[in-house]
Chains A and B, each alone.
Chain A
Amino acid sequence: MIELKGVTRRFGEAVAVDNIDLTIETGEVCVLVGSSGCGKSTTLRMINRLLPRTSGQILVDGEDINKADPEALRLNMGYAIQSTGLFPHWTVARNIGVVPTLLKWPAQKRDERVTELLALLGLDPETDARKYPHQLSGGQAQRVGVARALAGDPNILLMDEPFGALDAITRESLQQEMLRIQRQLNKTTVFVTHDIDEALKLASRIAVMDQGRIIQHDTPEAILRRPASAFVENLIGKGDRGLKLLALRTVSGLMERHPEPRHPEPVTDSLNESDSLRIALSLMLWNNTEKLPVLDASGAEVGIVNREQLLKVGA
C-alpha cells in the first residue's frame, strides 16, 4: 500500500504538486491521468525519491520512504519510462538482468529470471536476448523496458507513460499484455499517462490530476458516470462516454449462459468471452442482429448476448 499525505513539491516558486492525498491499495493499478505539466510525473518520481518532496508524507506499507535508503527503496520498485532508458551498450538479456545483478542474485537464478521474463513479454529468449537495444523495434524495446522493471520481482511498479511513444497498434497490444501480466502478478502499480482511454482500460482506480491537484480519484466506471467537474467531463469526452462505459465490461458478465456448452451454429459473427460490450454492440450494429453467440476459448458456444440487455448497461 502506498499512501501520500499532504504531499507538495515546489520547483522554485512554481508549485508542481499541491498538497495531494492519495492512497493506492496493494495489488491495484492506480493510473494518474492529466495533461502535461499537471504534476503526474512529478508525483510518480517522488514515490521512488528520484525527486525529493517539499512537504508532506509518503508511506509504503506504513513506513515513511525517507527513512529507507533510496537505492534499496528503488530496488523494490520496478521503473519503466517512455523513452525506455535501455542501456545501449548492454544486450537485452543484460539490460533485463540489471536489478537481479544489483540485488546480487546468483547468476543462474538471474539468467532463469531473464528467460522467464522474455517469454512473459512475448520476446524470443534465444535471439532477442543477444540483441542490442538499437536493433529492436519501438514495441520490442518497450517490452524489454517492462521486463526490466519486473525483473527484481518488486512489490511496486512505477510506469511513466511507458507506451506514450508507440504507434496505436503496438500500444494496444502492449496494453493487452499489461492487463494479462497484471492479472498474473498483481503488482501494486502506479501508471502515468495523458491518454484517458489507456487509463480507463488499465486502471482499477484513476486519479485525475490538474494543476498539481487531484480532481477526482475513483474507479473508471464512477469517473465515467459521475465526473466530479467540467474538467473531468471534458477529459473523458462527453459524447462517447456511453461507449466508453460499455468498453469497461466484458460480455462474459452480461451474457445469458447456456446450461451446457453447445456446438456453435455456423453464423457470420460471434463474440469471445473476453470481448468488451462495446465490441458486442458494434458487431450487432454491423450485422443488424438482436443476438450474438459467445464462444469460449475452445470454440464452444457458452452463451448469448442480446441487445435489449446490452443497451440497459449504460443507464
Chain B
Amino acid sequence: MPSSTGLPNRVIPVLALAAFVLVWLLNLGVVQPNRIVAGTGYGLFDATGWFGAGTVSSLLLVVVVLATKPIRNRFWVLSFLLTAALMSLPLLLEVFALRKLPADSAYARIGIGAGFWCLAFFLALMLLETLSQLKASRRVQLSVVLLVAAGWWLCAAREGLSSLSLIREYANRADQFSQALTVHLSLSLGAVAISAVLAFGLALAMVRRERLRRPLLGLVSFMQTIPSLALFGLLIAPLGALSAAFPALQALGIRGIGWAPALLALIAYSLLPMVRNTYVALMEVPEAVVDAGRGMGMSERQVFLQVKLPVALPVIIEGVRITTIQAIGLTAVAALIGAGGFGTFIFQGLGQAAMDLVLLGALPTVCLALAADAILSALKFQETPR
C-alpha cells in the first residue's frame, strides 16, 4: 500500500527548479573595488566555475529526482542533503572570492548577490517542506536550525571569507556590534517586560470593571495608530523639558533623546497586543469551568491562580510573542533618536550608501525576531493541553 511519503512530492521539485533557474539567471556575487562603489556582478558559472556551478546544479537535480521517486527514507536523505547544503553554502562565496577578488587591492571586497540569497531561501523552503513531511519534532527542527547556524558561523570565521563585505563591515565594528546587541536586546525585552506588567494590571482592571474596557482599549489602540517615527519624535520635547527641570532625571540618563524616549515609545506600542490578548484570554475562560471551580469550594484567589490564569496562559503568551517580535523590529527605528541598537548600522549604512552595513544591522534584527518567535512559540506549545 502506498503511504503518503511514497507519493511524488510536488512542492520540492517546483522549489528546486525555481532555485535552479534563479541561481543561473541572477548574479551570485559582486566584486566591489571599495565599500561604496557599485561593483561588477558575476553569474553562477563566472563566479564559481565548472566545479561550483556543477555542484549546485547537480544538487538541485538530485533533489528533484529524490522528491519524485518512491524511494524509502527519501525524506530523511533529503533533509540530510539540504541541511548539509545550507550549512556549507557560504563556501560558494569563498570559491568566488578565491577566483575573482583582485589580489592587489586592499579595499576590494565581495558582496552577496541576489542569486545567492535566492538559493539560500529556496534551500531553506525545501528543508522546511521535508521536515514537515517527516513530521519532525520540535527538537529535530531546532537541531537543524542550530546546525545551519553553526555551519555559517564556522564559514564566516574562515580566512577565505574575510574579504566578504558583510564581514569586513563587522570586523570594523566588532565592539559596536556587541554593544548594539546588548542595547537592542535590553531595550526591546525591557519594553516587553514593563508593558507585560502594565498590560496585566490593565487587563485585570478591565475584567473587574466592565466600564473601563472601552476607554482603556481605546487609549492603547490610539497609541498604536501614531506612526512610530512620530511617536519617537514627539517624546523628545517633553522628556527634554523634564530632564532640564529635574537634574536627578538627567543623572539617570533620561534625556529628550537616547534610551528613555525609545523605551517609552516601545512600551506604548507594546500595550495594545498585550492588553488585548490578556483581556480576551481571561474573558474567554469558559464560564462553566469557573462555576465548577467556585462550586467545588475554591476561593476567588484559587479560582484565579489555579483555573483562570493557567487556562488563559497560552493566549497571553501569544500576546507576548507578537509584542516581542514587534518590539525587536521597532527598536531598529529607535536608533533614529539615538537609542542605539542594530538600527544604528542600518541608518549609517543608508546614509553612506553602504548596503552591506545596512545588512549588518538588518540581519541580526531578523535573527533576534525569529529566535524570540521560536522560543515563545515553544513556550506556548508547552502550556497548551494536548
Contacts and interface: CB of A to CB of B under 8 A. Distances in A.
B289 interface: yes
A87 interface: yes
Interface in B275-299: 286, 288-299
Contacts of B296: 74-75, 78-79, 98-99, 102, 148-149, 152
A307 to B, nearest CB: 48
A314 interface: no
Interface in A66-103: 71-75, 78-79, 81-89, 98-99, 102
Interface in A199-234: none
B133 interface: no
Contacts of B306: 87
Nearest to A132: B385
A87 B298 contact: no
Do most interface residues of chain B lie in helix, strand or loop, or is the interface mixed? helix
B297 A87 contact: no
A79 B286 contact: no
Given A132-B386, A134-B385, A87 B293 contact: yes
B176 to A, nearest CB: 46
Nearest to A145: B292
B15 interface: no
A50 B385 contact: no
B385 A88 contact: yes
Given A102-B302, A132-B385, A132-B386, A87 B295 contact: no
Nearest to A76: B297
B386 A74 contact: no
Interface string B303-342: 0001100110000000000000000000000000000000
A79 B291 CA distance: 10
Contact of A99 (B290, B297, B383): B297
B295 A81 contact: yes
B123 to A, nearest CB: 38
A239 to B, nearest CB: 36
A82 B302 CA distance: 22
Interface string A125-169: 000000010100000000001001100100000100000000000
Contacts of A89: 310-311, 383, 385
Contacts of A87: 289, 292-293, 306-307, 311
B301 to A, nearest CB: 10
A28 B292 CA distance: 23
A72 B288 CA distance: 20
B297 A102 contact: yes
B295 A50 contact: yes
Contacts of A81: 288, 291-292, 295
A48 interface: yes
Nearest to A44: B295
B296 to A, nearest CB: 5
Contacts of A72: 297
Contacts of B298: 71, 98, 102
B146 to A, nearest CB: 31
B291 A74 contact: no
Contacts of A88: 286, 289, 311, 385
Contacts of B383: 89
A158 B292 CA distance: 11
A158 B383 CA distance: 32
B295 A75 contact: no
Contacts of B288: 81-85
A82 B288 CA distance: 9
Contacts of B294: 50, 74
Contacts of A132: 385-386
A85 B289 contact: yes
A50 B300 CA distance: 12
Interface in A21-60: 48, 50
Interface string B196-231: 000000000000000000000000000000000000
Contacts of A86: 289, 292
A228 B165 CA distance: 96
A36 B127 CA distance: 58
A81 B294 CA distance: 12
Contacts of B386: 132
A151 to B, nearest CB: 9
Nearest to A70: B297
Nearest to A103: B297
Contacts of B292: 79, 81, 84-87, 145
Interface in A158-201: 158
Nearest to B386: A132
Contacts of A71: 297-299
Contacts of A102: 296-298, 302
B354 to A, nearest CB: 52
A93 to B, nearest CB: 14
Interface centre among B288, B296, B310, B383 (most CB of A within 10 A): B296
A99 B295 CA distance: 10
B302 to A, nearest CB: 7
Nearest to B294: A50
A38 B160 CA distance: 85
B282 to A, nearest CB: 14
Nearest to A95: B292
Contacts of A98: 293, 296, 298
Nearest to A98: B296
Nearest to B292: A85
B114 to A, nearest CB: 48
A82 B289 CA distance: 11
A253 B213 CA distance: 64
5 contacts: A75-B296, A86-B292, A87-B293, A152-B297, A158-B295
Interface of B: 286, 288-299, 302, 306-307, 310-311, 383, 385-386
Interface of A: 48, 50, 71-75, 78-79, 81-89, 98-99, 102, 132, 134, 145, 148-149, 152, 158
Given A98-B298, A148-B296, A152-B297, 19 more contacts: A50-B294, A50-B295, A71-B298, A74-B294, A75-B297, A78-B296, A81-B291, A81-B292, A83-B286, A83-B288, A85-B292, A86-B289, A86-B292, A87-B292, A89-B311, A99-B296, A102-B296, A149-B296, A158-B295
| Across the A-B interface, the 7 shortest Cβ-Cβ residue pairs | A85-B292, A75-B297, A79-B295, A74-B297, A83-B288, A85-B288, A132-B385
